[in-house]
Structure 1
Amino acid sequence: MMTRQTALQTLIGLAQDDVDAATQKLGRVQRERVEIEKQLKSLIDYRDEYHTRFTESARKGMAAGNVRNFQAFIDTLDAAIEQQRRLLEQATQRVEATKPEWLRTKQKLGSYEVLQSRQDAVQARVEAKREQRDSDEFAARALRMRASQHHS
């Protein structure tokens, strides 16, 4: 009985290690995704700001060379934004791919913990029966002793 319990406790320990590792991995890919998303937002904000400034300047009149430079820079920003969107999509896929593994490790640990609590409940019932039997035997002995003392 004891070996099975320690084996189960070993499995619970290993399963907890797996949960911890999966949780760390999920946390890491989620943080990476948040970082990429922040960078994307910064790029979009910068592009919008740059576009607004340019539009204001263009209203006042601007040399053709400046328009070409502006357009080239906007194109570069758009390409960077597009690349960042792809990175965000990949990061989102990594998060989604990591979640099932994390859930699986949590479920496995939960199953072992259920087995452990069932085993603990069985053990508690066995202990309670043993204590009841010991108590009954003690009471019966005490009764017999009192009875034998009365007869003497």
Structure 2
Amino acid sequence: MTNPTPLQTLIGLAQDEVDTATQRLGRLQRERGEVEKQLQALITYRDEYHTRFTESARQGMAAGNVRNFQAFIDTLDAAINQQRRMLDQATVRVEAAKPEWQRCKQKLGSYEVLQTRQDQVAARKEARREQRDSDEYAARILRMRAPQHL
């Protein structure tokens, strides 16, 4: 097995950085998604609870029950507001992780372009060497076939 070139080592390290940044961004996006789902669940529950209360209130309700309802709605509203703040924070974390991921991808891409160029230079050198060897072989064959003049 051949030793990796310095450029191949850099590509490997850059790929590791991309993998780490990708995993981090993915984790942050999943966390944001969970926070958003929880917010939607709270909003849905609040709306359903409010609808049920409104239907019950139409049929008449004691003042104590109205106060309890209002207190519970206030609690749900506070939880919804807290969840919205958490969603905003999660969104900020996702948006902050994106430039790092892009920087890592760009760095890897740059190294890969350099590797491609290096490979192309090596391929051209190899092609020239093979052509030179082929030309030398053909010249040798011609010399061997040529009549020998003494």
CA distance in 1: counterparts of 2:144 and 2:45, whole angstroms: 96
In structure 1, the partner of 2:30 is 31
TM-score normalized with structure 1 length:
0.95
The structural deviation recorded for 1:37 is 0.2
Percent identical residues: 79
Equivalent position SS for 2:146: helix
In structure 2, the partner of 1:133 is 132
Structure 1 moving runs of 4+ over 4 Å: none
In structure 2, the partner of 1:117 is 116
In structure 1, the partner of 2:49 is 50
CA distance in 2: counterparts of 1:108 and 1:136, whole angstroms: 42
The structural deviation recorded for 1:45 is 0.2
Identify unmatched segments of 5+ residues in structure 2: none
Alignment size in residue pairs: 149
The residue type equivalent to 2:73 in the other structure is I
CA distance in 1: counterparts of 2:104 and 2:146, whole angstroms: 62
The residue type equivalent to 1:120 in the other structure is D
Give matches, 1:3-152, under 5 Å.
6-148=5-147, 151=149
Q: Which has the higher helix share?
A: 1
Deviations 1:28-75 (A, max 9, x none): 000000000000000000000000000000000000000000000000
The structural deviation recorded for 1:151 is 4.9
